[in-house]
Amino acid sequence: MKLNIANLFTRGLPVVTFLIFVFIACKKDTVSSIKGTPYDPSKPVTVHRFTPDSGGVATQLLIYGSNFGNDTSIVKVYVNGVRAPLIGMNDTAIYVIVPSKAGTGDVKVVIGNGDTQQEVVGPQPFTYIFQPYVGTLAGFTDKDGKTAIVDGPIDKAQFEEPYWLCFDNEKNIYLLEEYRGLRFINKDLTEVKTIWRTGNGLDRPRTLSFNPTFDTLYITNDQWDWNGLSTAIGTKGDNFARWTSLIYSKTTNGGAAHPQTGDYFFNAYDNGAIYYYDRAARVVRELFRIGDVGWEFNIQFAPSGDFAYIVVVNQHYILKANYNRTTGLLETPVHFVGGRRSSGYNDGVGTDARFREPHQGAFDEDDNFYVCDRMNHVIRKITPEGVVSTFAGRPGQWGYSDGALRDAQFDRPHGIIYDKETGTFYVADQKNRRIRIISTE
């Protein structure tokens, strides 16, 4: 029996869900038994063939042979020396995902430990093809488009309002769900859990930011109350499972810690101001105001720490503020890209570009900034020179589909982070209730 893999993805199935179809629907020509038999170190491991023989990152690779066993903990697969994530296996077949930046080379299977270990290489090289691609990591809805907060294996997990993302130092993912709480996706991308739910004054968490040592997590809270909680913190000692109050007032909906110094900056929606939190004195200082009152914005530092973008969500433009290392403060920002109080869609340079509710962004290795353009349903790319282009999605066409960068569809993407080691973006696709991936090189 043959399966149309492309059709499975366009139906909205996460990558790992494909394994179920392989095991159940393809018994004769792929996997004959889900359980398999244990690895026997007294017998040789063989690789007869693998399919397909070419593809790009996230290609589903099936390896056929013998004596693979049924213990995934003792099995490793490499494509051109780069380890491939193992999704499932039995004694005669292994299912892996081609890793990012693998290149063309041998497919090697390593099974066993110590004296029992065997290595075997496939009969021909795998040809690696660069294919930027938008896929789905996790999340799904039922036939009526409904979902829930569900923890567990990543192919079973569900999301309701995925909103803002950040990595810790081990590449675990922390995810805010708007009005709902803090979720966690482990670094192996296999499990999802809820760390805490909203309540007790922390009712609308908006942004996350780790300090440089990753032992403190700043959580802004948009409470619409000048006397309410504006920033809370979680600590590594508690596995971030509990939060404590840090700053009250200011009607905050965006904050960030400097990536080297740990200095914390945050905003006030009510008066359009940027504040600095003096950790030693435990006092708040107003630095400057960016515009009229009622301006929703967040602060996002470049990895270098030399500057920050101030993304003005409800006024559809982005400011740039340099960081003064002598004073330890952000300097008064300048208008960088987008039309001030002018929404729309237009690729261009500087203030000629147009956004419609830009939100979280992520920096790549060259300080390009990839920002979720929420109501245009796309991801935009902004170069350090202020050149704005469309990176992924179909402008103005909301929906859900995986595929090539400009063929894929999003529905109000809010959050985005970038893993430079794998060339992968993770996107909180809010109204699709999913975590999407964008694989690049």
Question: Within the chain, how many helices (H) and strands (E) appear?
Answer: 2, 37
**What distance, in Å, lies between the first and last C-alpha atoms of the chain?**
34
Domain residue spans of the chain:
5-128, 133-439
Match 């859900």 to its residue by tokens: 400
- Note the CATH architecture for domain 133-439: 6 Propeller (2.120)
| Alpha helical stretches, state H, 11-113 | 18-25
- Residue 100 is given by DSSP the state T
pLDDT in tens, the chain (441 residues): 333 333 333 333 344 334 433 433 343 333 433 456 999 999 999 999 999 999 987 789 999 999 999 999 999 999 999 999 999 999 999 999 998 788 999 999 999 999 999 999 999 999 998 878 899 999 999 988 899 999 999 999 999 999 999 999 999 999 999 999 999 999 999 999 999 999 999 999 999 999 999 999 999 999 877 788 999 999 999 999 999 999 998 889 999 999 999 999 999 998 999 999 998 888 999 999 998 888 999 999 999 999 999 999 999 999 999 999 999 999 999 999 999 999 999 999 999 999 999 999 999 999 999 999 999 999 999 999 999 999 999 999 999 999 999 999 999 999 999 999 888 999 999 999 999 999 887
Sign of CA dihedral 45, 51, 52, 53: positive
pTM: predicted TM-score of the whole model, two decimal places: 0.76
378 has which bridge partners? 373
- Note the CATH architecture for domain 5-128: Sandwich (2.60)
Q: Is 81 left (phi over 0), alpha (psi -120 to 50) or beta?
A: left
